[in-house]
């Protein structure tokens, strides 16, 4: 219990004062000692899924003064050990290593679960954490399918814990300023937002069934997902392109830009969604589209489009990623970083707010650490002070649903009519079958 921890810390500090010169434990750095001094108010976090992006997010949490990461949770033993070593270098103390998130959540000391595991784990892990009384930092997309998003909204309300979704641009200062200018009418009424992502991803080949590596608990990696044999082209990133575990480029990167578009246009659920595209570049196991255009129409006379090109990195408006708003009196461009530009109807640049930090939007691990820390701090403020978090679960679900509807349209091959009050697909029971997914027996998520 936390009171027990605080009592222990006080006793440890008292003993240290007697046993060490200047009151500092032998061999302890000033930074790690300072962390103990502030332990009463420290947020204790467990990081789940610590490969690549998860490693970056978890170490960012560990770098925040009011946080201590006390668990490295991953089914890949190598990744868990590597992350624990990185956190030890930052904090002066190594986190515990545990591969099963269910055991982590049994620890009453844990305040926060950071979920950066593969997409099929996002909502199930977050739901487990909320039930266990933990706050959740949930990387996007918040869910693998729309039904999971509904469960998350219900669970957050029921357990009254803070959920912050990793739409980090919501906390980038110049992006926030650009959206504020948009809402204040700098380009008149905005009625269209074009979003995009472009990369040069290579082929993933045709996977071969091979023995599961000794460092991997593949059964636990699959977790909620229906079981498939282990193949040599799934881990650690290519799972994004398989429907059983991933959600394609639309949710992998499209979610970020579509979230900005929805925020800027001040819209909720659409009236119609359609998608076109496919796996065009290579002939391999990749299932989701590598080339895709999603159109989302809204009942206030506005539209959002998303263009995804996983295998051709030609820039649009000078960037591999971006959101461009078109309005009655001009346009406003939010690029990949913490910047924006405003143009008049003559296509003349009238305002250019520059990046003040270097960002690489194609870096899939850690494109903007310092800026993302602002999103983490907003999450901490939500926990400690009741501050409204900038990417709460209701809004994050609405943004995620937009691209999920795009994927459903893609998979059924037709335009979807959508109820603008609920976001539910209308008049199409076949498409609604993709609103949910099948789960491995015993892993069905619930509130």
Domain ranges in the chain?
Answer: 2-169, 173-362+394-435
pLDDT digits 0-9 by tens, 304-314: 999 999 999 99
Per-residue confidence (pLDDT) for residue 359, from 0 to 100: 58
Indicate if the pLDDT at residue 321 is higher than 80.
yes
Stretch (H or E) spanning 220 = helix 218-222
Q: By CB neighbour count within 10 A (0-12 exposed, 13-18 middle, 19+ buried), where does 285 fall? A: middle
Give the Cα separation of 362 and 196 in Å (integer). 12
The residue among 290, 281, 278, 285 whose CA lies nearest residue 232 is: 285
Percent of the chain predicted with pLDDT > 70: 89
Superfamily of domain 173-362+394-435: Dihydrodipicolinate Reductase; domain 2 (3.30.360.10)
Question: Taking residues 264-283, what's their average pLDDT?
Answer: 98
Per-residue confidence (pLDDT) for residue 369, from 0 to 100: 82
Given pLDDT bands bounded at 50, 70 and 90, which one contains residue 368? confident
Output the pTM of the full model: 0.89
Per-residue confidence (pLDDT) for residue 41, from 0 to 100: 79
For residue 273, count other CB atoms closer than 10 A to its CB.
28
Give the Cα separation of 142 and 135 in Å (integer). 14
177: left (phi over 0), alpha (psi -120 to 50) or beta: alpha
Given pLDDT bands bounded at 50, 70 and 90, which one contains residue 39? low
Pairing of strands 416-418, 425-426: antiparallel
Indicate if the pLDDT at residue 387 is higher than 80.
yes
Top-tier CATH class for 2-169: alpha beta
Give the Cα separation of 235 and 218 in Å (integer). 10
Give the Cα separation of 136 and 86 in Å (integer). 22
Pair of tokens at residue 371: 């800026």
Given pLDDT bands bounded at 50, 70 and 90, which one contains residue 26? very low
pLDDT digits 0-9 by tens, 234-248: 999 999 999 999 999
Given pLDDT bands bounded at 50, 70 and 90, which one contains residue 1? very low
How far lies 350's CA from each of 86, 187, 336, 342, in Å?
45, 11, 19, 6
Question: Taking residues 137-155, what's their average pLDDT?
Answer: 98
């Amino acid at each position: 219990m936390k009171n027990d921890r605080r009592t222990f810390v006080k006793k440890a500090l008292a003993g240290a004062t007697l046993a060490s010169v200047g009151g500092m434990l032998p061999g302890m750095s000033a930074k790690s000692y300072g962390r103990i001094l502030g332990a009463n108010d420290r947020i204790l976090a467990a990081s789940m899924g610590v490969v690549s992006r998860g490693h970056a997010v978890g170490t960012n949490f560990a770098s925040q003064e009011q946080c201590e990461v006390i668990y490295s949770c991953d089914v890949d033993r190598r990744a868990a050990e590597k992350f624990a070593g990185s956190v030890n270098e930052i904090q002066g103390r190594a986190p515990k290593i545990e591969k099963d998130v269910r055991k982590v959540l049994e620890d009453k000391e844990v305040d926060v679960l950071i979920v950066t595991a593969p997409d099929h784990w996002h909502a199930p892990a977050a739901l487990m954490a909320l039930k266990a009384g933990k706050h959740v930092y949930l990387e996007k997309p918040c869910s693998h399918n729309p039904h999971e998003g509904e469960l998350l909204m219900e669970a957050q309300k029921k357990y009254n814990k803070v959920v912050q979704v990793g739409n980090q641009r919501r906390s980038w200062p110049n992006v926030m300023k650009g959206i504020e200018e948009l809402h204040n009418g700098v380009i008149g009424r905005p009625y269209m937002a074009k979003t995009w992502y472009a990369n040069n991803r290579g082929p993933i080949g045709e996977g071969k069934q091979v023995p599961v590596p000794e460092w991997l608990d593949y059964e636990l990696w699959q977790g909620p997902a229906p079981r498939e044999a282990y193949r040599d082209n799934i881990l650690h990133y290519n799972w994004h392109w398989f429907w059983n575990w991933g959600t394609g480029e639309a949710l992998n990167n499209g979610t970020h830009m579509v979230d900005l578009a929805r925020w800027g246009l001040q819209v909720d659920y659409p009236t119609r969604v359609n998608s076109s595209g496919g796996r065009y570049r290579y002939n391999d196991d990749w299932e989701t589209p590598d080339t895709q255009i999603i159109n989302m129409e809204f009942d206030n006379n506005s539209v959002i489009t998303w263009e995804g090109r996983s295998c051709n990195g030609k820039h649009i408006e000078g960037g591999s990623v971006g959101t461009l708003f078109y309005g009655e009196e001009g346009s406003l461009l939010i690029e990949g970083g913490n910047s924006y530009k405003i143009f008049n109807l003559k296509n003349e640049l009238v305002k250019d707010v520059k990046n003040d930090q270097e960002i690489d939007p194609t870096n899939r691990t850690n494109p903007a650490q310092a800026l993302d820390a602002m999103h983490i701090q907003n999450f901490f403020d939500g926990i400690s002070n009741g501050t409204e978090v900038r990417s709460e679960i209701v809004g994050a679900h609405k943004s995620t649903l937009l691209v999920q509807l795009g994927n459903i349209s893609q998979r059924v091959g037709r335009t979807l009519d959508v109820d603008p009050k609920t976001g539910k697909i209308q008049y199409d029971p076949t498409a609604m079958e993709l609103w949910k997914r099948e789960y491995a027996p015993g892993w069905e998520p619930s509130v």
